[in-house]
Structure 1
Amino acid sequence: MFAAIFERHFFMDKLPISCFIIAKNEADRIARTIRSVRPWVDEVVVVDSESTDDTARVAAAEGCRVITQKWLGFGGQKRFAEEQCRNDWLLNLDADEVITPRLRREIMALFAHAPPSRVAYGMPLELVYPNTKRPRLWARDHWYVRLYDRRFVRFRNSKVHDTVVTDGHAVGILRAPAYHYSFRSFEDLKRKMGERMLLSARHANSSTAALAARIVLEFPVNFFKYYINRRHFMGGLNGLRYSWIQADYRLLKIFHMWRERTSRSSRSPEASDDMAVHEI
């Protein structure tokens, strides 16, 4: 009770930021994401992609503005969400991400006395394994631009990727992390990887020779990338399993790209020339 009263008083002057979240079937975890930002940002906008669970109801109960929008692709959905916000400064979160108290304080400090000195800021996202509360020691996962002024930079309109295009603008660095509860279980991770792998393969264009080389190197290179370079060796058995799945599905993606390439070539030799190269 006391904590709730203190929080309402402490965050009385909210930051001129709109936080937007795109979501589908995230009723079991979106409230945690919303609660990490709702007390101190001006608004939270949830763009729901026709969920079949209670995502929209949960978000509305948490005080969000909820808009239903048929899926436009990763970049397209986020660009649509950008346009629904009433502030120019935007904070983007996925429904499985949480702003930590340290990151909240760092963002609040940016707006304490004047507008931020940069038009975009990147932040580290640290993965949290299923059934654990915190990232592994020395976590080094991803770094994304998620806080930005939409008058200068926007998300790329891509079906596969959701990346903020900074167009040469200097990007500020936020040191504190957001936590990424990316998958509910390792079976859920395999499902998500499978979906993204198929989508990426359909939108890819690589030469047969390049794919042949990648078939040989894809698994060992990616296992090293995740287990050693991103320090999942600090995650014990969870880290080993995670690294193996990441490498395994990236190898599987190459096989699907090969199949797509062969199928495309048999249909029309010119058809693949118009496709863009994408990777998950």
Structure 2
Amino acid sequence: MRKLPLSCFIIAKNEADRIARTIRSVRSWVDEVVVVDSGSSDGTIAIARAEGARVIVQPWLGFGGQKRFAEEQCRHDWVLNLDADEVVPADLRREIITLLRSGAPANVAYGMPIHIVYPGQNKPRMWARDNWYARLYDRSVVRFRDSCVHDSVVTDGHSVGRLKAPIHHYSIRSFDHMRTKLDERMSLAAAHARPRNRSLTFARLLVEFPMNFYKYYIVRRHFTGGIMGLRYATVLSSFRVAKVYRCWMHRNPVRSVPLAIANHA
């Protein structure tokens, strides 16, 4: 297969058990795969190199900063960003190839669905409706936001095209891993949250769980995932409550936050 003039970049740390699958999903049709490692202590770097990726070690710059650094290491202006736990399935691969081989793209960025795959499963649940992000774009026009917490592409008013096929996101190794991952991310988000009225923030605690459970279980259709879908929606909603609590207790150390709020799931 003739490769596209497209760079795929991946930021990673301690992803030895997952990164090979990610690289293999793109290496046959993109011109290069760039992995920016932020200090892995497992075999991530060796595995990525063995799979044909160019690996660069860069201490952590925050989510947005790390991805902006990775953008700058790419040879091509058109880039595809993947996380180290994501896979491009065949239908999305065909869609991207068709787009980039049909002349100059009409838009400077393209988004696609990103669907969660539960632990131990090999594809998203039926009728999945999780997230949608711009991941394929011209870095000479748009870039990732330079932020410690947020890692989204800032399109600055440019129109964004839509691809139909999803990325498969193997986000969690287990539900224990999910809790650990959410604890770290919610703590970071609370630490960087803008000051808000403490009374209003406290009032949010009363509605945060049911509001988010409805969002994840019903609107995002985790009800089609059976028991795993129920567990996923419950754990994620619980940590949304924990985030609001941490914002409310912002003057106290994060370690004082009771984590038992999510352990019932």
Q: By the TM > 0.5 criterion, same fold?
A: yes
The answer as to 2:17 corresponding to 1:22 is no
Counterpart position of 2:149? 160
Counterpart position of 1:122? 111
**Match for residue 228 of structure 1 among 218, 234, 253:** 218
Partners of 2:101 and 2:153 in 1: how far apart? Answer: 25
Partners of 2:27 and 2:200 in 1: how far apart? Answer: 47
Counterpart position of 1:92? 81
Q: Deviations along 1:100-126, whole A, 9 cap, x unmatched?
A: 100000000012231211100000011
Counterpart position of 1:258? 248
Counterpart position of 1:219? 209
Counterpart position of 2:170? 181
The answer as to 2:238 corresponding to 1:248 is yes
- Point out the structure with max Rg over C-alpha: 1
Divergent runs of 4+, >2 A: none
Partners of 1:111 and 1:254 in 2: how far apart? Answer: 43
The answer as to 2:200 corresponding to 1:199 is no
| 2:81 and 2:136 in contact (8 A); partners too | yes
The answer as to 2:94 corresponding to 1:105 is yes
- Structure 2 runs not aligned, ≥5 long: 254-265
**Match for residue 41 of structure 2 among 33, 52, 55:** 52
Partners of 1:221 and 1:129 in 2: how far apart? Answer: 22
Matched residue SS, 1:216: helix
Q: Deviations along 1:164-190, whole A, 9 cap, x unmatched?
A: 000000100000011000000000000
For 1:65, the aligned partner's letter is R
How many residues get paired? 252
Partners of 1:232 and 1:196 in 2: how far apart? Answer: 21
What TM-score, normalized to structure 1?
0.89
Counterpart position of 2:71? 82
| 2:7 and 2:31 in contact (8 A); partners too | yes
Q: Deviations along 1:77-97, whole A, 9 cap, x unmatched?
A: 000000000100000000000
Please report how far the alpha carbon of residue 207 of structure 1 lies from its aligned counterpart in structure 2 after TM superposition: 1.5
Counterpart position of 2:28? 39
Matched residue SS, 2:249: helix
Partners of 1:195 and 1:242 in 2: how far apart? Answer: 17
Partners of 2:198 and 2:216 in 1: how far apart? Answer: 26
- Structure 1 runs not aligned, ≥5 long: 1-10, 265-280
Matched residue SS, 1:90: strand
Partners of 2:200 and 2:98 in 1: how far apart? Answer: 47
Please report how far the alpha carbon of residue 263 of structure 1 lies from its aligned counterpart in structure 2 after TM superposition: 4.5
Counterpart position of 2:52? 63
Partners of 2:24 and 2:141 in 1: how far apart? Answer: 28
Counterpart position of 1:276? none
